[in-house]
Chains A and B, each alone.
Chain A
Amino acid sequence: MFVEEKKIHISRPLELNSGKVLLAYDLMYETYGQLNDDKSNAVLVCHALSGNHHVAGLHKGDEKPGWWDNMIGSGKPINTDKLFVVCMNNLGGCHGSTGPTSINEETNDPYGFEFPIVTVQDWVNSQKVLMDEFGIDKWQFIIGGSLGGMQALQWSLDYPDNVNNAIIIAASPKLTAQNIAFNEVARQAITSDPDWCGGNYIKENKIPKRGLALARMLGHITYLSDESMAKKFGRDLKQDKINFNFDVEFQIESYLRYQGEKFVTSFDANTYLLMTKALDYFDPFNEIDFVERMSKSRSRFLVISFTSDWRFPPRRSEEIVKTLIKLNKDVSYACIKSDGGHDAFLMKNDNYFEIMRTYIEANING
């Protein structure tokens, strides 16, 4: 199925968590399936750090479908024969929604490093703006993996009446010191690249390619597992002997460099900085009046983790489950056996897909 991205311009100001205000902004999104007459079949899919609104289907002329095409579509677990699915590029992103690469109307220059820091709450608020534009009153499901799952959790807290089911996959209630440490190294890789130019590389007509590629390589290691890397690459060499030099010798080195180089062609360095900050700041269980606010939430929850995920391991998902149980919330939890690491949430896995399909089918109407 071919899909087209759409852009909506919002001219009402959005007050951000930081106190700053976006006077006007664009939201880029895609939809799949048909919204029914009583608008009761709407699903919001939230994307993770490097994702975007193109979650499923094919753009005309493309060979590769959206990033979660195995999960979303006709007859798939998120079944577009029955559901109307919306996915939006988050603010601060670099795929069409207003972000560091957009032109700041006040200065007529790209925002660059001047783009305000956005949080998960800000994204949820902007997603609510899009929801209102559609005239949708309730999301039947909000679904996301990793940082996307965090948005689903935040939604249930911030808009307790507007979410029927939150599906939180491979997520965490907050980042650990180790998680923040990895993010900080990624940020340092970018900001220490001379081509970053203090964040104004667009104006200087440069791209901090080396820094962004390094950040991506580092991130990518944390998305995979020891087992999956061993299986895929082991100690395989590019040539059949070692050469006693510092060129690319092992397959894993070649793979990481390729991932880094590919990433810089499609992603903005300042967006990367912003996304990692949103992750670092996320800590809903410590928000003021958390218990009182979450008690009001009418959402049911499905939490899913993967055994080999060491970025957000099962015990982090279980912290979410434990907190929701304490508040007597309707929550189900599944821990999926997989050697796919953190990225397992994007991969086909029979048990995982069956869990998703069964939960969605069982809760599609209520």
Chain B
Amino acid sequence: MARKDFDLITEWVEPDSRILDLGCGDGSLLKLLNKKRNTSGYGVDTSIDKTIKSLDNTINIINADINDHMDFFKDKSFDYVILAQSLQVVDNPVSLIKEMLRIGNEVIISFPNMGYWRSRLYLFFRGEMPVTSELPFSWHSTPNIHLCTIRDFKKMCISNNFQITEEVINNVNGKNISSSLLNNLIGTSAIFRIK
């Protein structure tokens, strides 16, 4: 499956970099980066099924929970620490991002935008927590415990002195609409570079 955030991350990452991919799933991002950018590094994922798939993708996979294994990685030992579409499952996003900044020179985070108008309408009209194709879980069984909007995310960055150096907000057609004043309403997903 080709993912837009993957293409963008591949553009951003410098050749020969060291990458740590948290919540790496089946390892396809790292495999892509290793191939296209000659990177090296590790993926981390708590799922054993994803670990098997990552091994099949010949990436280095650490089968561990990203909430309590960041002590595996020493200070500034990676060029990029990536959290692609996994922010919402993290126990404590602020302390994890702090750890990511400790470990890497740069942090890349992508997440689905809960401020997207369809999610807002879903809640407004149905009076129920949004269930979408991207986030298909009911409120009581979802692993997505920390969903946020683009504005929520930026507020958190400001209050914790996380410096956003670049942002791309995609609309439903995959077009970058980050310069639009309505980006928190019409953006479906966002990706940030943080230092």
Residues of A whose CB lies within 8 Å of any CB of B are: 302, 318, 321-322, 325-326, 328, 330-337, 351, 354-355, 358-359, 361-363
Contact = CB atoms under 8 A, between A and B. Distances in A.
B73 interface: yes
Nearest to B27: A332
A351 B64 contact: no
Given A333-B64, A335-B63, A318 B55 contact: no
Contact of B48 (A322, A328, A334, A361): A334
A354 B52 contact: yes
Contact of B62 (A328, A333, A355, A358): A333
Nearest to B46: A335
Contacts of A358: 52, 55-56
A253 to B, nearest CB: 36
A331 B59 CA distance: 9
Nearest to A331: B60
Interface string B32-45: 00000000101000
Contacts, number: 57
Nearest to B73: A325
Interface of B: 18, 40, 42, 48, 51-52, 54-56, 58, 60-64, 69, 71-74, 77
Contact of B74 (A326, A333, A336): A326
Contacts of B77: 326
A328 B74 CA distance: 11
Nearest to B44: A333
5 contacts: A332-B61, A333-B62, A335-B48, A359-B55, A362-B58
B97 to A, nearest CB: 20
A75 to B, nearest CB: 18
A336 B72 CA distance: 18
Contacts of B40: 328, 330
A117 to B, nearest CB: 35
Nearest to A362: B58
Given A330-B60, A331-B62, A333-B61, 16 more contacts: A322-B71, A322-B72, A325-B62, A328-B18, A328-B40, A332-B55, A332-B61, A333-B62, A333-B64, A334-B48, A335-B48, A335-B64, A351-B48, A358-B52, A358-B56, A359-B55
A197 B6 CA distance: 70
A336 B64 CA distance: 11
Contacts of B63: 332-335
A173 to B, nearest CB: 14
A96 to B, nearest CB: 36
Contacts of B64: 318, 333, 335
B63 to A, nearest CB: 4
Contacts of B72: 318, 321-322, 325
Given A326-B74, A351-B48, A321 B62 contact: yes
Nearest to A302: B55
Nearest to B59: A332
Contacts of A318: 64, 69, 72
Contacts of A335: 48, 63-64
